[in-house]
């Protein structure tokens, strides 16, 4: 089957989507900040719906804003083949993370339509809400709810951590954005999709280093998130003498270094680099240069291919912080945000991707995704796999994130061929 990807149009659309941003311009590249349910996110969604409507695709939105763009197949009652990703972007990010899977998915569907073929199964593009944890502290909000992984009531009561002034919850924020209705209705039936495929930039440097243009993801590492609140005793930075201090930030610093030490030790013990741990935010109260910090809130992101090893790192960290809290006379509270299992790709879809690559003369690399993606949760309700394309220097979550138009078009072509095969099954 002859399938032509319109690489120029796809590049233009990626650039156009990058204009919906509230990031400060950056000399490093195209800076994008697009936090879920902000004006920019809502305008970007409307623009995408416009592109889908031009093609005559059916559009549906659910109560959390997941958007379903369907090209109806010859047998509309058969489970569809799904593809998609996210368009939200963390603060000061680049323009390819997630967007390549959404606009690439749209272009793959358009290319299949242009080829004149019709398929038994519908092909459906999903824009998934809030893959990034920026606003509500938990990633993959849309796909967690679709797959029944997150309790709808708990989700609706999660606090808006970005616009804390508003004291809003997800329920308030989504309603204000026009996404009303019961979150419980978001959940999909198991086997709603015959297959699910997500195209994404690698966000690492392995493909580039090995000179390979396509990665086939065979598994996705298991992420977890924790929030720590460290409460000490504040006071005047001049008058509160050192022997009397119970400085929350000093205790937090020891905790951060303990996390790093145990993650490094886990890697050394297993002779891998599979454990990664990051404290990416640190809120200091009251946050004045002449005031001893009385309270600190840290957010930890910890991931591993082996969830048992991830938990054993946490156990070691717990021993350390009990000791730190006693010695420094502070309180350390730990709150679990999420602890997810890893996901495996479906052998059948991996074989389909292998066959497509062979047909197109591409040698792919089988690889683990160390970043998480909505596919981690789609795997709970559908057989999944992912297609990775190289990104320059492995850089991601930064304005200088870059994938070449050729690599994006190639990934989109592989996606289109694989969707065609799966939709014909």
Which residues are documented as binding site for Zn(2+)?
86, 97, 132, 200, 397
Size of the site for ligand GLV (CB under 6 A): 4
Strand partners, 215: 365, 388
Binding residues: 86, 97, 132, 200, 397
For Mn ion, the closer of residues 98 and 152 by Cβ is 98
For Mn ion, the closer of residues 13 and 132 by Cβ is 132
Does the footprint of ligand GLV cover residue 139 (CB under 6 A)? yes
Interface residues for Mn ion in 354-393 (CB under 5 A)? 371
User: Taking Cα atoms as reference points, which of 31, 88, 139 lies closest to residue 371?
Assistant: 139
Beta strands in 245-357 (DSSP E): 276-285, 291-292, 295-304, 331-339, 343-344
Residues written for the chain: 425
- Rounded Cα distance between 383 and 243, Å, is 59
For Mn ion, the closer of residues 277 and 332 by Cβ is 277
The helix (run of H) or strand (run of E) holding residue 127 is strand 123-127
Rounded to the nearest whole angstrom, what is the least distance from the CB of residue 239 to ligand GLV in the complex? Answer: 43
Q: What DSSP designation does 323 have?
A: H
Instruction: Name which position in 57, 136, 196, 372 contacts ligand GLV (CB under 6 A).
Output: 372
Does the footprint of ligand GLV cover residue 132 (CB under 6 A)? yes
Rounded to the nearest whole angstrom, what is the least distance from the CB of residue 61 to ligand GLV in the complex? Answer: 22
Rounded to the nearest whole angstrom, what is the least distance from the CB of residue 231 to ligand GLV in the complex? Answer: 28
Q: Helices 7-17 and 99-114: crossing angle, nearest 10°?
A: 150
Structure tokens of 340? 């997810």
What is the number of other CB atoms lying within 10 angstroms of the CB of residue 289?
5
The helix (run of H) or strand (run of E) holding residue 360 is helix 347-360
Does the footprint of ligand GLV cover residue 94 (CB under 6 A)? no
The helix (run of H) or strand (run of E) holding residue 173 is helix 170-176
Cα Rg for the chain, rounded, in angstroms?
Answer: 23
Does the footprint of Mn ion cover residue 98 (CB under 5 A)? yes
For ligand GLV, the closer of residues 139 and 399 by Cβ is 139
Which residue, chain included where needed, has tokens 């809030």?
130
For Mn ion, the closer of residues 194 and 303 by Cβ is 303
Instruction: Name which position in 97, 107, 160, 407 contacts Mn ion (CB under 5 A).
Output: 97
Does the footprint of ligand GLV cover residue 371 (CB under 6 A)? yes
Size of the site for Mn ion (CB under 5 A): 3
What are the residues binding Mn ion (CB under 5 A)?
Answer: 97-98, 371
């Amino acid at each position: 089957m002859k399938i032509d990807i319109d690489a120029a149009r796809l590049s233009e659309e990626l650039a156009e989507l990058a204009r919906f941003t509230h990031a400060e311009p950056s000399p490093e590249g195209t800076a994008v900040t697009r936090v879920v349910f902000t004006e920019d996110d809502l305008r970007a969604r409307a623009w995408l719906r416009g592109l889908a409507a031009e093609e005559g695709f059916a559009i549906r939105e659910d109560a959390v804003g997941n958007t379903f763009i369907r090209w109806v197949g010859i047998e509309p009652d058969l489970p569809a083949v799904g593809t998609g990703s996210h368009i939200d972007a963390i603060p000061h990010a680049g323009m390819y993370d997630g967007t390549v899977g959404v606009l690439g998915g749209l272009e793959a569907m358009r290319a299949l339509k242009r080829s004149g073929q019709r398929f038994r199964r519908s092909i459906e593009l999903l824009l998934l809400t809030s893959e990034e944890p920026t606003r509500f502290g938990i990633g993959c909000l849309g796909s967690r709810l679709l797959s029944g992984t997150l309790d709808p009531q708990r989700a609706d009561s999660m606090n808006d951590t970005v616009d804390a002034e508003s004291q809003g919850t997800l329920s308030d924020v989504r309603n204000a954005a026009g996404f009303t209705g019961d979150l419980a209705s978001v959940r999909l039936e198991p086997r709603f999709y015959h297959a699910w495929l997500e195209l994404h930039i690698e966000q690492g440097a392995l493909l580039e280093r090995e000179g390979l243009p396509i990665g086939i993801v065979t598994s996705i590492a298991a992420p977890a998130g924790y929030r720590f609140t460290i409460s000490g005793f504040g006071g005047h930075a001049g008058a509160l003498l050192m022997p009397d201090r119970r400085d929350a930030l000093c205790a937090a610093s020891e905790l951060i270094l303990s996390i790093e030490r145990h993650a490094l030790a886990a890697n050394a013990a297993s002779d891998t680099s599979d454990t990664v741990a990051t404290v990416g935010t640190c809120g200091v109260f009251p946050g004045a240069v002449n005031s001893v910090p009385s309270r600190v809130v840290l957010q930890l992101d910890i991931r591993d291919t082996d969830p048992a090893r991830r938990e054993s790192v946490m156990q070691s960290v717990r021993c350390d912080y009990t000791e730190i809290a006693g010695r420094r006379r502070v309180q350390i509270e730990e709150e679990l945000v999420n602890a997810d299992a890893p996901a495996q790709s479906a052998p059948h879809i991996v074989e389909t991707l292998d066959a497509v690559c062979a047909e197109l003369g591409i040698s792919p690399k089988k690889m683990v995704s160390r970043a998480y993606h909505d596919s981690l949760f789609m795997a709970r309700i559908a057989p999944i796999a992912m297609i990775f394309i190289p990104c320059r220097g492995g850089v991601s979550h930064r304005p200088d994130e870059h994938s070449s138009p050729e690599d994006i078009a190639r990934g989109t072509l592989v996606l289109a061929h694989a969707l065609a095969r799966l939709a014909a099954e």
